[in-house]
Amino acid sequence: MTGLQDALDGRWAHVRQEARKQLAGSHFVAVPGETIEQARARISRLITELPTDPGVGAAFPKEYGGSADPGGSVAAAEMLAQLDLSLMVKAGVQWGLFGGAVVALGNEQHHATYLPDIIAAKLMGCFAMTETGHGSDVQQLRTLCEYDPVTETFDLHTPHESARKDYIGNAARDGRIAVVFAQLITGGKSYGVHAWLVPIRDEQGNPLPGVTIGDDGHKAGLLGVDNGRISFDHVSVPRAQLLDRYGQVAADGTYTSSIENDTRRFFTMLGTLVRGRIVVGGSSSAATKSALTIAVRYGESRRQFTAPGETREITLNDYLAHQRILLTALAHTYALTFAQEELTVALHEVQTAIGDVDEHRQRELESRAAGLKAVQTWHATRTIQACREACGGAGYLAENRLAGLKADTDVFTTFEGDNTVLLQLVAKGLLTGYRDAFGSLDGWGRAAFVAEQVREMVLERTAARSLIQRLVDAVPGRDEEVALTDRGWHLRMFEDREKHLLDGVIRRLRKGAAQKKDRPFDIFNDVQDHVLDVALAHVDRVVLEAFVAGIDRASGDTKTLLSKICDLYALTTIEAHKGWFLEHGRITPARSKAVTGKVNDLLKQLRPRMGELVDAFAIPDEWLNSAILREEVGRQESMAAHDDLLSGR
C-alpha cells in the first residue's frame, strides 16, 4: 500500500481494504454481454451473498447488527461500484433507499419488525417515490393515501397513469414490500407527502390484490437491476404501516407532527436520505477510476504509429493529446476523491452526532451532496466516454469492460436528482442570504428542497479553513508576479469567480424582479444559465479546497506528487474558464496563454507517473476484468519480436 493509495483510501481505508479481501476474485464482478434475464438472475443471487460487515449493513443501528457507520457504508458502496454497478445499485435500493427509509422514517416498532430481515436480504424491498409524470418535483407526487377512521386503515390509490410509480428498483422481480410515498389525507385535508410500508407481493412472488406491477424492461445499462412500475387500486394499508417519525395519524384520524409546515416536514424527511445521493456520486467516481485504470494501462502498452528516426518506443500515452485527456481526467478524479471524502466525513458527523441535528450543517451537507453528485456524475460520463475512445475499437467490445461502465453509469446524471435540478438547488442555497431581495418568487421550480432553510453558506470555508485563508492571504496584489502554480492564486481565482458570478446573478434577479413582476417564471429563467454557472463555480471551489486539505494531510513524496496533480486540476479548470476570467479582467491575455503552456508542461512532468496514478486506485485485476489488459502486453511482445525478424532480413 503506497502513500498515494493511503491518501485516496482516506478515513475508511479499513473498509476498502476489507472489501478488496472479502470480495476478492471474480465472483462478484460484472459479466459482459449477459441477457437481461441472466443479469437479473445473477444479481438477485449475489445480493444475498454480500458481506454485511463492514459491508452493506454498515449504516444500520448496532442493535440490529449494523455498525452505525454511515461513512463506512458509503465507502462500502463505492467498492461494490468497482465490481458491478448493477450490484451496487441493487444494494443501494435494498439497504440504502429502502432500508434507509425504514431506519430514518420509521419508529422503534418498524425497526424491530423489519430491520433484521432487511439487513439479511430476506425481505427485499422497494423505494417507491418517483412517478411516471413526476421525476424531479417529488413534492407534487400524485399518489393518494387517505385515512379512514372507521376501518383504521389508509386507502392507497393511483389516480391515473402518470401517478404510477416508475423506474422503481426491485419492483419488477424481487421486491416483496415497498416504502411508498404518497399524499397523506386525513379528515379531508392533505398534509403533504408521507411514506408507508406496503406489501406488494405474496410469498410466491405474485402481486397482491390491488397492486399492479409492470416491468421497465430493457435499459441502456444496469441490466441486473429489475426496475418496474407499481400502481395501486384502492389498496388498504393498516394505520401502523405509516412510517410516522415525522408525522403521526391517531386512530381517530387526528394528524400530529413536530414540524408544523408541510413543506419543511417533507424536506426534513427527504434530508435523512441524503446518503443515497452521496453514494451515487462516489460510485460514479469509483467507476471512473476503473475506466481510467483500463485506458491508462492500455495506453501504456499500446504502440501507435512508427515514429521515424526514433529509437524510443512511442506508446499512446506519449501523445500530448492523449495526456490532455487522460491525465487531466486523472487530476480531476483525484480532486473529486478528496471532495467526496470530505463530504462523507460531513455526512458521518451529522448522522452520528448526539442530540439534535444542527440544521445548518444538515442543509450544508445536502447542498454539498447535490453539487458533488452532479459534478461527479458528469465527470464520469465524460471520462468513461473518453476512455472508451482512447481504446479505439477495443474500447467498444464488451469483453474490455468500458462499454458496460459507460452504459451502467449513464443514468447517474439524472437519477437520485437530475443534475440540472441539483445545481439549481445548490445555487438557491447560495442565494438564500439574499432572498429578501426577490421574496417568494419561486419561478424556476420547487426543486430546491433545502432552499428555504439554507443561510449564509456563501464562501464558507470547507476544510483546512485556516490553511486556505493563509494561502490566499499570501498572494501578492498583482497576479502577474505570482507563479502559475501558486496555490493561493488558484484559490483566489476560484473564489473570485464564484463570488463575482453570485453577485452578478443577484443583480440580474433584482432587476428582473422589478421589471417582470407578472412573469415570475421569466425572472429566474432568463438567468438560468448564469445560475447554473454559480453552482458549478461553487462546487469547483469546494473541490479545490478539499484537495488542498488532502495534500496537507499527506507527507513526503506523496505530498509533492499530489501537489503537482492539484496544479494540473486547478490550472485546467482555470483554462476551461479562461473566457470568463478574461472577460472580467481577472487574467491578462499573456497570462492566460501562459496557463496553457504550464498545463502542457505539467502533463510532460506527470507523464512518467501515469501508471502510478492509476495503481493508487488499487483496483484488483480481477475486478477490472478487461480482456485487453490481459492480452495487450503479450501481443506487443510477439509483435516486437516479429518486427525484429522483419527488419533483419
* Window contacting a second copy (CB under 8 A); options: 55-63, 394-402, 428-436, 449-457: 394-402
Q: How far is the CB of 389 from a second copy (least distance, A)?
A: 5
Burial of 589 (0-12, 13-18, 19+ CB in 10 A): exposed
Among 92, 443, 512, 550, binds a second copy (CB under 8 A): 443
* Window contacting a second copy (CB under 8 A); options: 264-272, 315-323, 451-459, 460-468: 315-323
**C-beta neighbour count of 314 within 10 angstroms:** 13
Does residue number 610 form part of the binding site for a second copy (CB under 8 A)? no
> Which residues, numbered 548-587, are part of the site for a second copy (CB under 8 A)?
575, 578-579, 582-585
Does residue number 304 form part of the binding site for a second copy (CB under 8 A)? yes
DSSP state at residue 208: P
Q: How far is the CB of 96 from a second copy (least distance, A)?
A: 18
Q: How far is the CB of 644 from a second copy (least distance, A)?
A: 12
> Which residues, numbered 33-72, are part of the site for a second copy (CB under 8 A)?
33, 35-36
Q: Is 572 left (phi over 0), alpha (psi -120 to 50) or beta?
A: alpha
Among 442, 479, 496, 615, binds a second copy (CB under 8 A): 442
> Which residues, numbered 355-384, are part of the site for a second copy (CB under 8 A)?
381
Contact criterion met (CB below 8 Å) for 225 and 34: no
DSSP state at residue 183: E
> Which residues, numbered 192-221, are part of the site for a second copy (CB under 8 A)?
216-221
- Residue 277 is placed in which grid cell? 445521493
Among 399, 479, 552, 615, binds a second copy (CB under 8 A): 399
Q: What are phi and psi of 157, to 5 degrees?
A: -145, 140
Angstrom distance (rounded) from CA 434 to CA 165: 37
Q: Which is nearer to a second copy, 35 or 109 (CB)?
A: 35
Q: How far is the CB of 143 from a second copy (least distance, A)?
A: 12
Among 135, 199, 611, 620, binds a second copy (CB under 8 A): 135
Does residue number 132 form part of the binding site for a second copy (CB under 8 A)? yes
Angstrom distance (rounded) from CA 379 to CA 333: 8
Angstrom distance (rounded) from CA 113 to CA 177: 13
> Which residues, numbered 611-640, are part of the site for a second copy (CB under 8 A)?
634-636, 638-639
> Which residues, numbered 509-548, are part of the site for a second copy (CB under 8 A)?
519-521, 525-529, 532
DSSP codes joined into one string, 101-129:
HHHHHS-HHHHHHHHHHHHTTSS-EEEE-
Q: Is 153 left (phi over 0), alpha (psi -120 to 50) or beta?
A: beta
Residue 457 corresponds to which amino acid? M
Q: Is 355 left (phi over 0), alpha (psi -120 to 50) or beta?
A: left
Rg (CA), the chain: 26
* Window contacting a second copy (CB under 8 A); options: 314-322, 342-350, 494-502, 552-560: 314-322
User: What track of x and - describes contact with a second copy for positions 140 through 159 (by CB under 8 A)?
Assistant: x-x----------------x
> Which residues, numbered 96-125, are part of the site for a second copy (CB under 8 A)?
none
Q: How far is the CB of 349 from a second copy (least distance, A)?
A: 32
CA distances from 187 to 152, 190, 249, 484, 527 (A): 12, 8, 10, 66, 42
> Which residues, numbered 16-35, are part of the site for a second copy (CB under 8 A)?
32-33, 35
Q: How far is the CB of 12 from a second copy (least distance, A)?
A: 30
Angstrom distance (rounded) from CA 336 to CA 8: 10
Does residue number 187 form part of the binding site for a second copy (CB under 8 A)? no
Strand 177-186 relative to strand 144-148: parallel, antiparallel, unpaired? parallel
